[in-house]
Amino acid sequence: MPQKKTTTKKVSKKPLETGVAKKKKEGNFAHPRGMRDITNDTFYHYQGFFEKASEIAVYYGFRPIETPILEREEVFTSGVGEHTDIVEKEMYSIKTKGGDALVMRPEGTAPVMRAYLEHGMHTQPQPVMLYYYGPFFRHDRPQGGRYRQFYQFGIEVLGTSHNIADAMTIGLMHRMLLESGLKHLSVLINSIGCKSCRPGYVRDLTTYYRRHIQKLGLIDRERLKTNPLRILDSKDEATREINAEAPEAVAHLCEACKEHFSGVLEYLDAMQIPYHIDHTLVRGLDYYTRTVFEIVTDGAPVNAQPEAVAEVKEAGKNEEGGTTEENPVAKAEEKVEEKVVAPRLALAGGGRYDDLAKRFNSKRDVPAVGATIGVDRVIESSEFSPHSPRIIKKPKVYFIQLGAEAKLKSLEVIEMLRKAHIPIAHALSKDKLSVQLATAEKLSIPFVIIIGQKESVDGTVIVRDMGSRSQETVPTSKFADYLKKKMRE
Protein backbone atom coordinates (compact mmCIF):
# COMPACT_ATOMS: atom_id res chain seq x y z
CA MET A 1 0.00 0.00 0.00
CA PRO A 2 1.31 3.45 -0.80
CA GLN A 3 2.27 5.88 1.94
CA LYS A 4 -0.34 8.35 3.06
CA LYS A 5 0.56 11.88 2.13
CA THR A 6 0.12 14.35 4.97
CA THR A 7 0.66 17.71 3.31
CA THR A 8 -2.27 20.05 3.62
CA LYS A 9 -3.64 22.58 1.23
CA LYS A 10 -4.39 26.04 2.61
CA VAL A 11 -7.85 27.26 1.96
CA SER A 12 -8.57 30.89 1.23
CA LYS A 13 -9.55 33.07 4.17
CA LYS A 14 -11.52 35.41 1.95
CA PRO A 15 -15.18 35.74 2.90
CA LEU A 16 -17.11 33.50 0.58
CA GLU A 17 -20.68 34.58 1.03
CA THR A 18 -22.31 35.89 -2.09
CA GLY A 19 -24.49 38.97 -2.08
CA VAL A 20 -27.49 36.70 -2.19
CA ALA A 21 -26.29 34.60 0.72
CA LYS A 22 -25.65 37.71 2.82
CA LYS A 23 -29.29 38.68 2.58
CA LYS A 24 -30.25 35.43 4.24
CA LYS A 25 -32.21 37.05 7.03
CA GLU A 26 -34.53 38.92 4.68
CA GLY A 27 -35.30 35.92 2.51
CA ASN A 28 -32.99 33.18 1.40
CA PHE A 29 -32.57 32.99 -2.35
CA ALA A 30 -29.18 31.28 -2.27
CA HIS A 31 -28.60 27.97 -4.00
CA PRO A 32 -29.41 24.89 -1.89
CA ARG A 33 -26.62 23.46 0.26
CA GLY A 34 -24.36 21.00 -1.49
CA MET A 35 -25.45 22.22 -4.93
CA ARG A 36 -23.69 24.73 -7.17
CA ASP A 37 -23.93 26.99 -10.16
CA ILE A 38 -21.29 25.78 -12.60
CA THR A 39 -20.01 28.58 -14.80
CA ASN A 40 -17.09 29.78 -16.94
CA ASP A 41 -14.03 27.50 -17.09
CA THR A 42 -15.49 25.03 -14.60
CA PHE A 43 -18.43 24.49 -16.95
CA TYR A 44 -16.03 23.83 -19.81
CA HIS A 45 -14.05 21.41 -17.64
CA TYR A 46 -17.18 19.33 -17.08
CA GLN A 47 -18.21 19.56 -20.70
CA GLY A 48 -14.72 18.66 -21.94
CA PHE A 49 -14.56 15.69 -19.57
CA PHE A 50 -17.97 14.36 -20.66
CA GLU A 51 -16.98 14.69 -24.32
CA LYS A 52 -13.63 12.94 -23.83
CA ALA A 53 -15.09 10.14 -21.71
CA SER A 54 -17.94 9.65 -24.22
CA GLU A 55 -15.46 9.49 -27.07
CA ILE A 56 -13.40 6.82 -25.30
CA ALA A 57 -16.56 4.85 -24.47
CA VAL A 58 -17.76 5.03 -28.08
CA TYR A 59 -14.42 3.71 -29.35
CA TYR A 60 -14.83 0.77 -26.97
CA GLY A 61 -18.26 0.02 -28.44
CA PHE A 62 -20.60 1.73 -25.94
CA ARG A 63 -23.77 3.56 -26.94
CA PRO A 64 -25.38 6.44 -25.05
CA ILE A 65 -28.43 6.23 -22.83
CA GLU A 66 -30.18 8.90 -20.81
CA THR A 67 -32.62 7.85 -18.12
CA PRO A 68 -34.94 10.26 -16.29
CA ILE A 69 -33.72 12.28 -13.31
CA LEU A 70 -36.76 10.97 -11.43
CA GLU A 71 -37.46 7.26 -11.00
CA ARG A 72 -40.01 5.32 -9.02
CA GLU A 73 -38.83 4.80 -5.46
CA GLU A 74 -38.95 1.00 -5.89
CA VAL A 75 -36.14 1.16 -8.45
CA PHE A 76 -33.80 2.06 -5.60
CA THR A 77 -35.45 0.45 -2.57
CA SER A 78 -35.57 -2.91 -4.39
CA GLY A 79 -32.53 -2.39 -6.61
CA VAL A 80 -29.98 -0.75 -4.35
CA GLY A 81 -31.35 -2.26 -1.10
CA GLU A 82 -33.36 -0.93 1.85
CA HIS A 83 -30.52 -1.13 4.35
CA THR A 84 -28.00 0.89 2.38
CA ASP A 85 -26.98 4.45 3.26
CA ILE A 86 -28.30 5.69 -0.07
CA VAL A 87 -31.81 4.37 0.52
CA GLU A 88 -32.01 4.78 4.29
CA LYS A 89 -30.64 8.30 4.54
CA GLU A 90 -29.75 9.97 1.29
CA MET A 91 -32.65 9.87 -1.16
CA TYR A 92 -34.48 13.01 -2.24
CA SER A 93 -38.02 11.64 -2.30
CA ILE A 94 -40.93 13.37 -3.94
CA LYS A 95 -44.61 12.66 -3.52
CA THR A 96 -46.33 13.83 -6.69
CA LYS A 97 -49.81 15.37 -6.72
CA GLY A 98 -50.99 12.15 -8.34
CA GLY A 99 -49.65 10.19 -5.36
CA ASP A 100 -46.60 8.62 -7.02
CA ALA A 101 -43.50 8.17 -4.88
CA LEU A 102 -40.60 9.32 -7.02
CA VAL A 103 -36.95 9.76 -6.18
CA MET A 104 -34.24 11.98 -7.66
CA ARG A 105 -31.79 9.39 -8.93
CA PRO A 106 -29.00 8.78 -6.42
CA GLU A 107 -27.10 6.49 -8.80
CA GLY A 108 -27.22 5.25 -12.38
CA THR A 109 -26.93 1.46 -12.45
CA ALA A 110 -30.41 0.57 -11.19
CA PRO A 111 -32.11 2.94 -13.69
CA VAL A 112 -30.08 1.51 -16.58
CA MET A 113 -31.05 -2.05 -15.61
CA ARG A 114 -34.67 -0.87 -15.29
CA ALA A 115 -34.44 0.53 -18.83
CA TYR A 116 -32.81 -2.67 -20.17
CA LEU A 117 -35.64 -4.80 -18.80
CA GLU A 118 -38.41 -2.36 -19.71
CA HIS A 119 -37.28 -2.14 -23.35
CA GLY A 120 -36.54 -5.86 -23.72
CA MET A 121 -32.92 -5.15 -24.60
CA HIS A 122 -32.18 -8.86 -24.15
CA THR A 123 -33.40 -9.24 -27.76
CA GLN A 124 -30.46 -7.13 -28.96
CA PRO A 125 -27.02 -8.66 -29.50
CA GLN A 126 -25.46 -9.19 -26.06
CA PRO A 127 -23.81 -7.68 -24.21
CA VAL A 128 -25.59 -4.34 -24.39
CA MET A 129 -22.98 -1.70 -23.62
CA LEU A 130 -24.27 1.67 -22.48
CA TYR A 131 -22.75 4.89 -21.20
CA TYR A 132 -24.39 7.89 -19.54
CA TYR A 133 -23.54 11.02 -17.65
CA GLY A 134 -25.28 13.75 -15.72
CA PRO A 135 -26.33 14.91 -12.27
CA PHE A 136 -27.09 12.57 -9.37
CA PHE A 137 -28.50 13.48 -5.98
CA ARG A 138 -27.72 12.30 -2.47
CA HIS A 139 -28.74 14.08 0.72
CA ASP A 140 -25.47 13.57 2.54
CA ARG A 141 -23.43 16.06 4.60
CA PRO A 142 -21.64 18.26 2.06
CA GLN A 143 -17.87 18.45 2.41
CA GLY A 144 -14.78 18.51 0.21
CA GLY A 145 -15.43 16.23 -2.79
CA ARG A 146 -18.96 15.44 -1.64
CA TYR A 147 -21.94 17.31 -2.96
CA ARG A 148 -25.68 16.79 -2.84
CA GLN A 149 -25.88 17.28 -6.57
CA PHE A 150 -22.86 15.68 -8.15
CA TYR A 151 -21.92 14.45 -11.59
CA GLN A 152 -21.09 10.96 -12.70
CA PHE A 153 -19.98 9.36 -15.93
CA GLY A 154 -21.00 5.71 -15.99
CA ILE A 155 -20.72 2.62 -18.17
CA GLU A 156 -22.73 -0.59 -17.93
CA VAL A 157 -22.13 -3.90 -19.75
CA LEU A 158 -25.37 -5.87 -19.56
CA GLY A 159 -25.97 -9.48 -20.56
CA THR A 160 -22.60 -11.12 -20.00
CA SER A 161 -21.07 -12.98 -17.08
CA HIS A 162 -17.65 -13.17 -18.72
CA ASN A 163 -14.85 -11.76 -16.61
CA ILE A 164 -13.35 -9.90 -19.56
CA ALA A 165 -16.26 -7.46 -19.16
CA ASP A 166 -15.21 -6.78 -15.55
CA ALA A 167 -11.62 -6.18 -16.65
CA MET A 168 -12.67 -3.96 -19.55
CA THR A 169 -14.86 -1.88 -17.21
CA ILE A 170 -11.99 -1.35 -14.79
CA GLY A 171 -9.56 -0.69 -17.64
CA LEU A 172 -11.85 1.86 -19.23
CA MET A 173 -12.38 3.81 -15.99
CA HIS A 174 -8.64 3.76 -15.42
CA ARG A 175 -7.98 4.94 -18.97
CA MET A 176 -10.49 7.81 -18.65
CA LEU A 177 -8.78 9.00 -15.47
CA LEU A 178 -5.30 8.72 -17.01
CA GLU A 179 -6.40 10.66 -20.09
CA SER A 180 -7.58 13.43 -17.77
CA GLY A 181 -4.11 13.79 -16.31
CA LEU A 182 -4.57 11.77 -13.11
CA LYS A 183 -1.40 9.86 -12.43
CA HIS A 184 -1.47 8.85 -8.78
CA LEU A 185 -4.13 6.17 -9.01
CA SER A 186 -4.65 2.90 -7.17
CA VAL A 187 -7.09 0.23 -8.23
CA LEU A 188 -8.56 -1.52 -5.18
CA ILE A 189 -10.37 -4.74 -5.96
CA ASN A 190 -12.18 -7.53 -4.12
CA SER A 191 -14.64 -10.30 -4.83
CA ILE A 192 -17.67 -10.64 -2.56
CA GLY A 193 -18.87 -13.89 -4.12
CA CYS A 194 -22.27 -14.92 -5.39
CA LYS A 195 -25.57 -16.06 -3.86
CA SER A 196 -24.22 -19.54 -3.30
CA CYS A 197 -20.96 -18.70 -1.51
CA ARG A 198 -21.72 -15.35 0.09
CA PRO A 199 -24.14 -16.61 2.78
CA GLY A 200 -21.35 -18.82 4.21
CA TYR A 201 -19.03 -15.84 4.27
CA VAL A 202 -21.62 -13.59 5.93
CA ARG A 203 -22.17 -16.31 8.57
CA ASP A 204 -18.46 -16.43 9.38
CA LEU A 205 -18.27 -12.68 9.44
CA THR A 206 -21.26 -12.44 11.77
CA THR A 207 -19.72 -14.97 14.16
CA TYR A 208 -16.47 -13.01 14.11
CA TYR A 209 -18.14 -9.66 14.83
CA ARG A 210 -20.30 -11.18 17.60
CA ARG A 211 -17.07 -12.12 19.35
CA HIS A 212 -16.02 -8.46 19.19
CA ILE A 213 -19.41 -6.88 19.73
CA GLN A 214 -18.27 -4.94 22.83
CA LYS A 215 -15.86 -2.94 20.68
CA LEU A 216 -18.37 -2.15 17.92
CA GLY A 217 -20.07 1.24 17.82
CA LEU A 218 -23.86 1.58 17.71
CA ILE A 219 -24.08 1.91 13.94
CA ASP A 220 -21.98 -1.19 13.38
CA ARG A 221 -24.00 -3.19 15.92
CA GLU A 222 -27.09 -2.26 13.96
CA ARG A 223 -25.37 -3.31 10.73
CA LEU A 224 -24.62 -6.67 12.29
CA LYS A 225 -28.37 -7.26 12.25
CA THR A 226 -29.16 -5.77 8.85
CA ASN A 227 -26.07 -6.00 6.64
CA PRO A 228 -22.89 -7.35 8.31
CA LEU A 229 -20.85 -6.89 5.11
CA ARG A 230 -21.17 -3.13 5.53
CA ILE A 231 -19.21 -3.28 8.81
CA LEU A 232 -16.16 -3.93 6.65
CA ASP A 233 -16.24 -0.40 5.27
CA SER A 234 -16.98 1.22 8.63
CA LYS A 235 -15.41 4.61 9.27
CA ASP A 236 -15.16 3.85 13.01
CA GLU A 237 -11.50 3.58 14.05
CA ALA A 238 -12.17 0.77 16.59
CA THR A 239 -14.10 -1.24 13.98
CA ARG A 240 -11.32 -0.76 11.48
CA GLU A 241 -8.90 -2.39 13.87
CA ILE A 242 -11.27 -5.34 14.24
CA ASN A 243 -11.65 -5.45 10.45
CA ALA A 244 -7.92 -5.99 10.02
CA GLU A 245 -8.38 -9.56 11.37
CA ALA A 246 -11.86 -10.21 9.92
CA PRO A 247 -12.45 -13.25 7.68
CA GLU A 248 -11.72 -12.48 4.05
CA ALA A 249 -14.30 -12.90 1.30
CA VAL A 250 -11.82 -14.34 -1.19
CA ALA A 251 -11.15 -17.26 1.18
CA HIS A 252 -14.85 -18.18 1.03
CA LEU A 253 -15.39 -18.02 -2.74
CA CYS A 254 -16.92 -21.01 -4.51
CA GLU A 255 -14.93 -22.51 -7.37
CA ALA A 256 -16.81 -20.55 -10.04
CA CYS A 257 -16.31 -17.21 -8.23
CA LYS A 258 -12.65 -18.01 -7.57
CA GLU A 259 -12.10 -18.73 -11.24
CA HIS A 260 -13.97 -15.58 -12.23
CA PHE A 261 -11.89 -13.42 -9.90
CA SER A 262 -8.53 -14.85 -10.86
CA GLY A 263 -9.48 -14.32 -14.51
CA VAL A 264 -10.23 -10.63 -13.84
CA LEU A 265 -6.84 -10.25 -12.18
CA GLU A 266 -5.11 -11.96 -15.11
CA TYR A 267 -6.72 -9.54 -17.55
CA LEU A 268 -5.62 -6.62 -15.37
CA ASP A 269 -2.08 -7.99 -15.38
CA ALA A 270 -2.25 -8.30 -19.17
CA MET A 271 -3.38 -4.66 -19.41
CA GLN A 272 -0.57 -3.72 -17.00
CA ILE A 273 -2.98 -2.11 -14.59
CA PRO A 274 -1.59 -2.36 -11.06
CA TYR A 275 -4.12 -3.28 -8.37
CA HIS A 276 -4.35 -4.06 -4.67
CA ILE A 277 -6.73 -6.69 -3.33
CA ASP A 278 -8.60 -4.88 -0.56
CA HIS A 279 -10.40 -7.37 1.69
CA THR A 280 -12.49 -4.66 3.31
CA LEU A 281 -13.87 -3.34 0.03
CA VAL A 282 -17.56 -4.28 -0.25
CA ARG A 283 -19.11 -1.05 -1.61
CA GLY A 284 -22.29 0.28 -0.14
CA LEU A 285 -24.96 -1.15 -2.44
CA ASP A 286 -26.73 -4.49 -2.08
CA TYR A 287 -26.79 -5.41 -5.75
CA TYR A 288 -23.09 -6.23 -6.09
CA THR A 289 -21.92 -9.80 -6.71
CA ARG A 290 -18.40 -11.05 -7.33
CA THR A 291 -16.11 -8.23 -8.51
CA VAL A 292 -16.15 -4.90 -6.68
CA PHE A 293 -13.57 -2.21 -7.26
CA GLU A 294 -12.65 1.39 -6.66
CA ILE A 295 -10.04 3.64 -8.18
CA VAL A 296 -8.68 5.95 -5.52
CA THR A 297 -6.26 8.83 -5.50
CA ASP A 298 -2.92 7.87 -4.23
CA GLY A 299 -1.96 11.00 -2.36
CA ALA A 300 -2.69 13.69 -4.97
CA PRO A 301 -4.37 16.55 -3.12
CA VAL A 302 -7.78 17.69 -4.21
CA ASN A 303 -8.27 21.43 -4.68
CA ALA A 304 -10.42 23.07 -2.04
CA GLN A 305 -13.61 24.30 -3.63
CA PRO A 306 -14.98 27.55 -2.23
CA GLU A 307 -18.34 25.86 -2.02
CA ALA A 308 -17.01 23.15 0.28
CA VAL A 309 -15.33 25.71 2.50
CA ALA A 310 -18.48 27.80 2.62
CA GLU A 311 -20.61 24.78 3.49
CA VAL A 312 -18.45 23.82 6.41
CA LYS A 313 -18.28 27.42 7.63
CA GLU A 314 -22.02 27.60 7.35
CA ALA A 315 -22.30 24.45 9.44
CA GLY A 316 -20.31 26.22 12.18
CA LYS A 317 -22.92 28.96 12.52
CA ASN A 318 -26.09 28.85 14.53
CA GLU A 319 -29.51 29.93 13.33
CA GLU A 320 -28.95 33.64 13.96
CA GLY A 321 -25.83 33.58 11.87
CA GLY A 322 -23.77 33.61 15.08
CA THR A 323 -21.29 30.96 16.00
CA THR A 324 -21.43 27.85 18.08
CA GLU A 325 -17.77 27.58 18.99
CA GLU A 326 -15.08 29.99 20.21
CA ASN A 327 -13.41 30.40 16.87
CA PRO A 328 -15.69 28.54 14.50
CA VAL A 329 -14.26 29.82 11.24
CA ALA A 330 -10.78 28.66 12.14
CA LYS A 331 -12.30 25.37 13.32
CA ALA A 332 -14.30 25.07 10.12
CA GLU A 333 -11.20 25.70 8.06
CA GLU A 334 -9.32 23.08 9.97
CA LYS A 335 -12.13 20.69 9.25
CA VAL A 336 -12.08 21.56 5.57
CA GLU A 337 -8.34 21.03 5.44
CA GLU A 338 -8.79 17.62 6.98
CA LYS A 339 -11.47 16.69 4.49
CA VAL A 340 -10.08 18.35 1.43
CA VAL A 341 -6.67 16.78 1.65
CA ALA A 342 -7.94 13.34 2.64
CA PRO A 343 -5.22 11.38 0.90
CA ARG A 344 -7.35 8.60 -0.51
CA LEU A 345 -10.44 9.74 -2.28
CA ALA A 346 -12.51 7.40 -4.44
CA LEU A 347 -12.63 8.76 -7.98
CA ALA A 348 -14.44 5.83 -9.54
CA GLY A 349 -16.15 2.69 -8.39
CA GLY A 350 -18.22 -0.18 -9.60
CA GLY A 351 -18.60 -3.89 -9.85
CA ARG A 352 -20.64 -6.83 -11.06
CA TYR A 353 -24.34 -7.06 -10.33
CA ASP A 354 -25.57 -10.41 -11.60
CA ASP A 355 -28.64 -10.50 -9.32
CA LEU A 356 -29.98 -6.99 -9.86
CA ALA A 357 -32.41 -8.01 -12.63
CA LYS A 358 -34.02 -10.53 -10.26
CA ARG A 359 -34.60 -7.73 -7.75
CA PHE A 360 -36.82 -6.17 -10.44
CA ASN A 361 -38.75 -9.45 -10.77
CA SER A 362 -37.10 -10.28 -14.08
CA LYS A 363 -37.68 -13.88 -15.10
CA ARG A 364 -34.38 -13.99 -16.89
CA ASP A 365 -30.91 -13.58 -15.46
CA VAL A 366 -29.06 -10.53 -16.68
CA PRO A 367 -25.45 -10.83 -15.55
CA ALA A 368 -23.86 -7.40 -15.80
CA VAL A 369 -21.00 -5.20 -14.68
CA GLY A 370 -20.54 -1.43 -14.60
CA ALA A 371 -18.83 1.51 -12.99
CA THR A 372 -18.99 5.26 -12.58
CA ILE A 373 -16.52 8.08 -12.30
CA GLY A 374 -17.15 10.90 -9.83
CA VAL A 375 -16.58 13.75 -12.25
CA ASP A 376 -16.51 16.52 -9.60
CA ARG A 377 -13.60 14.84 -7.87
CA VAL A 378 -11.69 14.39 -11.12
CA ILE A 379 -12.10 18.05 -12.00
CA GLU A 380 -11.09 19.15 -8.51
CA SER A 381 -7.94 17.05 -8.53
CA SER A 382 -4.73 19.08 -8.68
CA GLU A 383 -3.60 16.69 -11.44
CA PHE A 384 -6.61 17.25 -13.67
CA SER A 385 -5.73 18.43 -17.14
CA PRO A 386 -8.79 19.85 -18.86
CA HIS A 387 -9.95 18.79 -22.33
CA SER A 388 -11.14 21.55 -24.61
CA PRO A 389 -14.80 21.02 -25.31
CA ARG A 390 -15.63 20.94 -29.00
CA ILE A 391 -18.33 23.55 -28.70
CA ILE A 392 -16.17 26.33 -27.25
CA LYS A 393 -15.92 29.08 -29.81
CA LYS A 394 -13.57 31.84 -28.82
CA PRO A 395 -14.90 35.02 -30.39
CA LYS A 396 -12.62 36.23 -33.17
CA VAL A 397 -14.78 39.16 -34.15
CA TYR A 398 -16.52 41.87 -32.15
CA PHE A 399 -19.66 43.19 -33.77
CA ILE A 400 -20.48 46.86 -33.26
CA GLN A 401 -23.67 48.51 -34.44
CA LEU A 402 -24.54 52.20 -34.29
CA GLY A 403 -28.02 53.62 -34.76
CA ALA A 404 -31.49 52.18 -35.20
CA GLU A 405 -31.00 51.05 -38.82
CA ALA A 406 -27.87 49.11 -37.93
CA LYS A 407 -29.56 47.51 -34.94
CA LEU A 408 -32.30 46.28 -37.26
CA LYS A 409 -29.71 44.63 -39.51
CA SER A 410 -27.64 43.20 -36.71
CA LEU A 411 -29.44 39.87 -36.19
CA GLU A 412 -29.19 39.18 -39.91
CA VAL A 413 -25.45 39.89 -39.78
CA ILE A 414 -24.94 37.58 -36.78
CA GLU A 415 -26.73 34.79 -38.66
CA MET A 416 -24.52 35.36 -41.72
CA LEU A 417 -21.45 35.04 -39.50
CA ARG A 418 -22.76 31.88 -37.86
CA LYS A 419 -23.31 30.30 -41.28
CA ALA A 420 -19.72 31.23 -42.12
CA HIS A 421 -18.58 29.61 -38.80
CA ILE A 422 -17.20 32.86 -37.41
CA PRO A 423 -17.85 33.12 -33.65
CA ILE A 424 -18.49 36.63 -32.40
CA ALA A 425 -19.04 38.73 -29.30
CA HIS A 426 -21.24 41.80 -29.22
CA ALA A 427 -23.18 44.20 -27.03
CA LEU A 428 -26.37 44.65 -28.99
CA SER A 429 -28.00 46.63 -26.21
CA LYS A 430 -25.26 49.29 -26.26
CA ASP A 431 -25.33 52.31 -28.57
CA LYS A 432 -22.03 54.15 -28.10
CA LEU A 433 -19.04 53.38 -30.33
CA SER A 434 -16.50 54.13 -27.59
CA VAL A 435 -18.14 51.70 -25.13
CA GLN A 436 -18.30 48.91 -27.68
CA LEU A 437 -14.73 49.46 -28.91
CA ALA A 438 -13.43 49.46 -25.35
CA THR A 439 -15.11 46.11 -24.72
CA ALA A 440 -13.56 44.63 -27.87
CA GLU A 441 -10.19 45.89 -26.68
CA LYS A 442 -10.72 44.45 -23.20
CA LEU A 443 -11.61 41.03 -24.63
CA SER A 444 -8.51 41.15 -26.91
CA ILE A 445 -10.62 40.31 -29.94
CA PRO A 446 -8.52 40.69 -33.13
CA PHE A 447 -11.21 42.02 -35.51
CA VAL A 448 -14.12 44.39 -35.16
CA ILE A 449 -16.92 44.86 -37.62
CA ILE A 450 -18.89 48.08 -37.49
CA ILE A 451 -22.23 48.89 -39.07
CA GLY A 452 -23.38 52.48 -38.70
CA GLN A 453 -26.19 54.45 -40.28
CA LYS A 454 -24.25 54.95 -43.55
CA GLU A 455 -23.17 51.29 -43.85
CA SER A 456 -26.67 49.97 -43.22
CA VAL A 457 -28.02 52.15 -46.06
CA ASP A 458 -25.11 51.32 -48.41
CA GLY A 459 -25.17 47.59 -47.64
CA THR A 460 -21.57 47.62 -46.40
CA VAL A 461 -19.63 46.73 -43.27
CA ILE A 462 -16.46 48.29 -41.83
CA VAL A 463 -13.88 45.64 -40.94
CA ARG A 464 -11.25 46.88 -38.49
CA ASP A 465 -8.05 45.04 -37.65
CA MET A 466 -7.49 45.77 -33.96
CA GLY A 467 -3.78 44.93 -34.20
CA SER A 468 -2.80 47.29 -37.03
CA ARG A 469 -5.78 49.63 -36.43
CA SER A 470 -6.37 49.65 -40.20
CA GLN A 471 -9.91 49.35 -41.50
CA GLU A 472 -11.71 48.74 -44.75
CA THR A 473 -15.29 49.02 -45.96
CA VAL A 474 -16.56 45.81 -47.57
CA PRO A 475 -19.97 44.96 -49.16
CA THR A 476 -22.17 42.96 -46.74
CA SER A 477 -22.42 40.09 -49.25
CA LYS A 478 -18.61 39.67 -49.22
CA PHE A 479 -17.57 40.55 -45.69
CA ALA A 480 -17.70 37.02 -44.25
CA ASP A 481 -15.26 35.74 -46.91
CA TYR A 482 -13.12 38.85 -46.49
CA LEU A 483 -12.96 38.28 -42.72
CA LYS A 484 -12.01 34.63 -43.14
CA LYS A 485 -9.18 35.64 -45.48
CA LYS A 486 -7.96 38.27 -43.02
CA MET A 487 -8.07 35.78 -40.16
CA ARG A 488 -5.87 33.35 -42.10
CA GLU A 489 -3.21 36.00 -42.83
- Beta carbon of residue 92, minimum distance to ligand AMP (angstroms, whole number): 12
Binding segment toward ligand AMP, per CB under 6 A, in 141-149, 187-195, 260-268, 270-278: 141-149
Cβ closer to ligand AMP: 78 or 381? 381
CB closer to ligand AMP, 56 vs 347: 347
The answer to whether the beta carbons of residues 284 and 230 sit under 8 Å apart is yes
Site string for ligand AMP, 293-332 (x = CB under 6 A): ----------------------------------------
Report, in Å, the least distance between residue 217 CB and ligand AMP. Answer: 22
Question: Under a CB-based contact definition with an 8 Å cutoff, are residues 129 and 157 in contact?
Answer: yes
**Of 142 and 159, which has the nearer Cβ to ligand AMP?**
142
Which of 36, 45, 138, 174 is close enough to bind ligand AMP by CB under 6 A? Answer: 138
Which residues in 416-447 are b (16+ Cβ under 10 Å) and which e?
A: ebeeeebebbbeeeeeeeeebbebbeeeebeb
The CA–CA distances, whole Å, from 93 to 74, 87, 131, 151, 394 equal 11, 10, 25, 19, 41
Closest CA to 474 of 447, 449, 446, 440: 449
| CA 34 – CA 313 distance, rounded (Å) | 13
Residue closer to ligand AMP by CB (options 178, 404) is 178
Q: How far apart are CA 235 and CA 249, in angstroms?
A: 19
The reply to whether 52 sits near ligand AMP by the rule CB under 6 A is: no
State the Cα angle at 136 between 282 and 70, rounded to 5°: 115
Within a 10 A sphere around the Cβ of 80, how many other Cβ atoms? Answer: 23
Element (H, E) at 463: strand 460-465
Considering the complex, what minimum distance in angstroms separates the CB of residue 214 from ligand AMP? 31
Binding test (CB under 6 A) with ligand AMP, winner from 51, 55, 73, 140: 140
Rounded distance between C-alpha atoms, residue 149 and residue 311, angstroms: 14
Residues 69 and 111 sit within 8 Å (Cβ to Cβ): no
Q: Which is nearer to ligand AMP, 165 or 417 (CB)?
A: 165
Binding segment (CB under 6 A) for ligand AMP, from list 303-311, 347-355, 361-369, 417-425: 347-355
Among 36, 45, 146, 230, binds ligand AMP (CB under 6 A): 146
Beta strands in 236-393 (DSSP E): 275-277, 289-297, 346-352, 368-374
The DSSP string of 361-379 is: T-SS---EEEEEEEHHHHH
Q: How far is the CB of 371 from ligand AMP (least distance, A)?
A: 8
The number of residues in the chain equals: 489
161-169, 193-201, 306-314, 340-348 -> range binding ligand AMP (CB under 6 A): 340-348
Cα–Cα dist 348/185, whole Å: 10
By beta-carbon distance, which residue lies closest to ligand AMP?
A: 374
Residue 248 beta carbon to ligand AMP: minimum distance, rounded to whole angstroms: 22
Looking at the Cβ atoms of 82 and 365, the one nearer to ligand AMP is: 82
Nearer to ligand AMP, 354 or 376 (CB): 376
Q: Which of residues 348-377 bind ligand AMP (CB under 6 A)?
A: 348-349, 372, 374, 376-377
* Segment 375 to 394, residues that bind ligand AMP, using CB under 6 A: 376-377
The single residue among 132, 150, 287, 293 that binds ligand AMP, judged by CB under 6 A, is 150
Which residues, 426 to 465, sit near ligand AMP by CB under 6 A? none
Eight-state DSSP code of residue 105: -
Member of 128, 170, 192, 347 binding ligand AMP (CB under 6 A) = 347
Nearer to ligand AMP, 193 or 349 (CB): 349
Interacting residues of 233 by C-beta distance below 8 A, sequence separation 6+? 280, 281, 282, 283, 284
Residue 151 C-beta: closest distance to ligand AMP, Å: 8
- Does position 84 interact with ligand AMP (CB under 6 A)? The reply is no
Alpha-carbon distance of 163 to 212, in angstroms, equals 36
DSSP state of 230: G
Question: What is the phi/psi pair of residue 71, to 5°?
Answer: -135, 160
Q: What's the angle, vertex CA 402, arms to CA 399 and CA 405, rounded to 5?
A: 105
Nearer to ligand AMP, 138 or 339 (CB): 138
For residues 368 and 284, give the distance between their C-alpha atoms in angstroms, rounded to a whole number: 18
Q: Which is nearer to ligand AMP, 339 or 387 (CB)?
A: 339
222 versus 233: smaller Cβ distance to ligand AMP: 233
Using CB under 6 A, pick the residue from 152, 161, 456, 476 that binds ligand AMP.
Answer: 152
DSSP characters for 400-456? Answer: EE-SHHHHHHHHHHHHHHHHTT--EEE-TT---HHHHHHHHHHTT-SEEEEE-HHHH
Nearer of residues 107 and 354 to ligand AMP, judged by Cβ: 107
Q: Which of these ranges, 112-120, 143-151, 206-214, 359-367, lies near ligand AMP under the rule CB under 6 A?
A: 143-151
CB closer to ligand AMP out of 312 and 400: 312
Helix (H) or strand (E) holding 142: none
Residue ranges in contact with ligand AMP by CB under 6 A: 107, 138, 140, 145-147, 150, 152, 346-349, 372, 374, 376-377
